C-alpha cells in the first residue's frame, strides 16, 4: 500500500480500486460463511426423470445480469416418449416437425447420445416474449398441437417423404462426412458416406427352391 499512496492524507485512484476489490472479496466471504449454510434447508434428493416427465427444458443465465437470451426456453423430447397412437402418427409427427426433428439428440439438450434414440428427437425453442414463462408456454402449446395433429387419422401423409435437407446442411456447415463432387461442375458438398446398411433389402434377389437344393447338395458333397 505504500506505493499506492499519493500523499499522507489520501490514496491514489489505484489504491481506492484495490480497497474496493478487497471489500467485495470480504462481502462474498461473509456470505459464504453466514448465508450459505442456510441453503441446506432447501436441499432435495435427486430423482431421475420418469416416462411421465420426458421433456427437457433448457434455460440460460448470466449470473443475474440482464441479457436478451435469458428469456429463451428450449424444450427437447424423444419422439418415442410422446403419446403418439401408432407408427403412422410417429411418421406424421416427425414430418410436421420439419427441421426441428433430428435422429440424434442436440448437443445442448442435456440428453445422452443413444438415450431413447429409436424415433429421434424434437427440439422447439422460443424467445419472442418478454417473460420466460410465456416462451415456455408457447413451446408447450406448439408441442401439443403437433401431437394432436399427428394423431389425427383423417390425413396420415403417407405419400410425402421425410425431408432430410436440414441434416445435410448441418453436415455441409460442419464439413464432416465425405466430400461429393457435383457432376455439373459446381461446388462440392459434404455428406455422410454410404455403407452396406443403406442398401435396400427389397432389391436383394429371393433365393429359389432350385438354388436352395443346389446349396444343400454342395454342402453335403463337401462333407
Pair 33, 111 in one domain: no
Measured in degrees and rounded to the nearest 5, phi and psi for residue 57 equal -100, 130
Pair 67, 144 in one domain: yes
Pair 27, 60 in one domain: no
Confirm if 97 and 146 have CB atoms less than 8 A apart: yes
Q: What integer pLDDT is reported at residue 14 of this predicted model?
A: 86
Confirm if 216 and 207 have CB atoms less than 8 A apart: no
Residue 89 lies in a domain: yes
Segments forming the whole domain that contains residue 99: 56-174
Q: What integer pLDDT is reported at residue 186 of this predicted model?
A: 47
Q: What integer pLDDT is reported at residue 27 of this predicted model?
A: 94
Residue 47 lies in a domain: no
Residue 185 lies in a domain: no
Say how many domains are in the chain: 2
Length of the chain: 223
- The domain spanning residue 126 has which CATH number? 3.30.160
For the chain, the straight-line distance linking the first and the last C-alpha, in angstroms and rounded, comes to 97
Residue 223 lies in a domain: no
Q: What integer pLDDT is reported at residue 183 of this predicted model?
A: 46
Distance, in Å, from the CA atom of 196 to the CA atom of 180, rounded to the nearest integer, reads: 18
Pair 36, 62 in one domain: no
Pair 37, 136 in one domain: no
Q: What integer pLDDT is reported at residue 162 of this predicted model?
A: 83
DSSP label of 5: B
Residue 195 lies in a domain: no
Q: What integer pLDDT is reported at residue 118 of this predicted model?
A: 83
Pair 36, 100 in one domain: no
pTM of the model: 0.59
Pair 87, 14 in one domain: no
pLDDT tens digits, the chain, 223 residues: what are they? 555 455 566 778 888 899 999 999 999 999 999 999 999 999 988 877 777 778 888 888 887 778 888 899 999 999 988 989 888 999 999 999 999 998 888 888 877 777 767 888 999 999 999 999 999 999 999 999 999 999 988 877 878 888 888 887 777 777 665 555 544 444 455 555 566 766 777 788 877 765 555 555 555 445 5
Residue 86 lies in a domain: yes
Q: What integer pLDDT is reported at residue 185 of this predicted model?
A: 45
Distance, in Å, from the CA atom of 93 to the CA atom of 88, rounded to the nearest integer, reads: 9
Q: What DSSP string runs through 92-107? A: HHHHHHGGGEESS--T
Amino acid at each position: 500500500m505504500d506505493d499506492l499512496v499519493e500523499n499522507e492524507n489520501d490514496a491514489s485512484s489505484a489504491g481506492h480500486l484495490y480497497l474496493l476489490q478487497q471489500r467485495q472479496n470480504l462481502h462474498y466471504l461473509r456470505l459464504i460463511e453466514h448465508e450459505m449454510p442456510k441453503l441446506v434447508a432447501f436441499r432435495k434428493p435427486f430423482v431421475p426423470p420418469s416416462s411421465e416427465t420426458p421433456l427437457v427444458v433448457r434455460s440460460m443465465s448470466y449470473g443475474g445480469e440482464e441479457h436478451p437470451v435469458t428469456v429463451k426456453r428450449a424444450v427437447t423430447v424423444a419422439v418415442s416418449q410422446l403419446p403418439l397412437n401408432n407408427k403412422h402418427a410417429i411418421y406424421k409427427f416427425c414430418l410436421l416437425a420439419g427441421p426441428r426433428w433430428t435422429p440424434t439428440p442436440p448437443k445442448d439438450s442435456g440428453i445422452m447420445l443413444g438415450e431413447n434414440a429409436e424415433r429421434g428427437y424434437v427440439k422447439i425453442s422460443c424467445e419472442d416474449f418478454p417473460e420466460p414463462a410465456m416462451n415456455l408456454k408457447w413451446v408447450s402449446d406448439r408441442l401439443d398441437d403437433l401431437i394432436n395433429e399427428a394423431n389425427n387419422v383423417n390425413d396420415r401423409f403417407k405419400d410425402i417423404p421425410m425431408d432430410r435437407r436440414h441434416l445435410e446442411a448441418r453436415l455441409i456447415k460442419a464439413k464432416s462426412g465425405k466430400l461429393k463432387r457435383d457432376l455439373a461442375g459446381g461446388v462440392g458438398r459434404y455428406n455422410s458416406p454410404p455403407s452396406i446398411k443403406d442398401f435396400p433389402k427389397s432389391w436383394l434377389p429371393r433365393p429359389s427352391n432350385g438354388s436352395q437344393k443346389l446349396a444343400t447338395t454342395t454342402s453335403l458333397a463337401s462333407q
